[in-house]
Amino acid sequence: MRPASFEYVRPPSTAEACRALADGGTALAGGQSLLPLLKLRAVRPALVVDLNRITELQGIGNGEATELAIGAMTRHQHVADDPVVASAVPLLAEAARRTGDMQVRARGTIGGNVCFADPRANMSTALVALGAVAVVERTAGSRQVPVAEMFSDTRVSALRPGELLTRLHVPLGAGADRGVYLEFAPQPNGVPIVNVAVVPGDGELAGPRIAVGGLLRTTCRATQVEKAVRLEGATSAAIRRGIEGLLADHEGYADPRGDTAYRARLASVLIGRGLERAARGPRTTEREV
Ligand SMILES: Cc1cc2nc3c(=O)[nH]c(=O)nc-3n(C[C@H](O)[C@H](O)[C@H](O)COP(=O)(O)OP(=O)(O)OC[C@H]3O[C@@H](n4cnc5c(N)ncnc54)[C@H](O)[C@@H]3O)c2cc1C
């Protein structure tokens, strides 16, 4: 089907994009999720605001020794190929490499991946485990939101009307360079059923940080699992208990590819492997359980 008609603007700056979004516009980044929805007429925006000309939203900077700043319009392939990302936060490079096929990686953006709020999104899971913070701008100012709080529900972001995600700040250190991203995706280049990211603790007091996608209705930090592992060690029983705690507090995700119980089993296995590999240090991936 062809999209319903809409007005189209292609602003050259963040400020002009924010003005167009404040007028009720819908942001267009890589279009990998938005365009299919437009064609199905599942969304019918009156105004589409194309972000592709805004150079200030693109690229990766590490001016600060303590963090990486990644522009919202940075493509997945750019993240996958960036040498600083590869050495400082290899799990993010791995998550990008595992996102879709070459075409999706060439067009899809890290900001679009977060804003689309799909609970199985690769980059969101990696960013949550890394403790990344989103910088969100609007005509009247800006705010910073932990990526873990960017999701209100399945495919519903926590962005308010008129807001534009401009940058993601990824803290370095604290085990970030030893983090692991794992996923179970039956089809190569397909959206995973479940993915996990594990960043090992840095020191005796800080335990590992664990994020899970595809288990709950939103990508989440698995704090109950982290706590169980801190108290009982990284045993299968502790991980399972932590996942049960997560599911007691939040609604599980299910779709035709797997119910919540199946996803819980996958998450349990992947978290166990992630913890083991993060403790060992190698940068490996896992596509099948
Ligand atoms: C065949 C296929 C396979 C895929 N496989 C995977 C996979 O394995 N793993 C995975 O994680 N993803 C996968 N994806 C999704 C893809 O990775 C994109 O990341 C995702 O579609 C959104 O990014 P985008 O840049 O294309 O955003 P768009 O489609 O342009 O936008 C998505 C949504 O976010 C909003 N938005 C975008 N950018 C901003 C911004 N800066 N500020 C405010 N709102 C914004 C838009 O308004 C829209 O609502 C796949 C997609 C396809 C088509």
Q: Within 13 Å of residue 176, how many CA atoms lie on the same side as its CB?
A: 23
C-alpha distances in angstroms, 199 versus 47, 106, 176, 210, 244? 40, 27, 6, 6, 21
Q: Whose CA is nearest to atom 53 of ligand 1?
A: 32
Cα 61 from Cα 266, distance rounded (Å): 35
Q: How many CB atoms lie within 10 A of CB 202?
A: 15
211: exposed, middle or buried (C-beta count within 10 Å: 0-12, 13-18, 19+)? buried
pLDDT digits (tens, 9 = 90+) for 51-84: 999 999 999 997 778 999 999 999 999 999 999 9
Q: Where in the chain is the domain with CATH 3.30.465.10?
A: 59-171
Q: Where in the chain is the domain with CATH 3.30.390.50?
A: 177-280
Looking at the CA of residue 28, tell me the nearest atom of ligand 1: 30
Is 285's pLDDT higher than 60?
no
Is 188's pLDDT higher than 90?
no
CA trace torsion 115, 121, 127, 132 (10° rounding): 20
Q: Where in the chain is the domain with CATH 3.30.43?
A: 7-49
CATH number of 59-171: 3.30.465.10
Which CATH class for the 7-49 domain?
alpha beta
Greatest pairwise CA separation for the chain in angstroms: 58
Cα 169 from Cα 62, distance rounded (Å): 10
Given pLDDT bands bounded at 50, 70 and 90, which one contains residue 201?
A: confident
ipTM over 0.90: yes
115 or 3, greater pLDDT: 115
Q: Whose CA is nearest to atom 10 of ligand 1?
A: 121
Residue 289: the pLDDT is 43
pLDDT digits (tens, 9 = 90+) for 207-258: 899 999 999 999 999 999 999 999 999 999 999 999 999 999 999 999 999 9
Given pLDDT bands bounded at 50, 70 and 90, which one contains residue 205?
A: low
- The pairs formed by 52-55 with CB atoms below 8 angstroms and a separation of 24 or more are 52/10, 52/28, 53/10, 53/11, 53/12, 54/11, 54/12, 54/13, 54/14, 54/17
Looking at the CA of residue 98, tell me the nearest atom of ligand 1: 8
Residue 280: the pLDDT is 84
Is 288's pLDDT higher than 50?
no
Cα 145 from Cα 158, distance rounded (Å): 9
Looking at the CA of residue 37, tell me the nearest atom of ligand 1: 29
CATH number of 177-280: 3.30.390.50
187 or 182, greater pLDDT: 182
Cα 125 from Cα 215, distance rounded (Å): 11
**In contact, 118 and 154? CB cutoff 8 Å:** yes
Residue 283: the pLDDT is 53
Say yes or no: CB of residue 38 within 6 Å of ligand 1: no
Buried b (16+ CB within 10 A) or exposed e, 172-200: bebbbbbbbbbbbbeeeeebbbbbbbbbb
Q: How many residues does the chain have?
A: 289
pLDDT digits (tens, 9 = 90+) for 26-37: 999 999 999 999
DSSP 212: E
Average pLDDT for the chain = 94
Q: Whose CA is nearest to atom 37 of ligand 1?
A: 112
| E strand map for 14-112 | 26-28, 47-50, 60-61, 67-71
pLDDT digits (tens, 9 = 90+) for 124-142: 999 999 999 999 999 999 9
DSSP 224: H
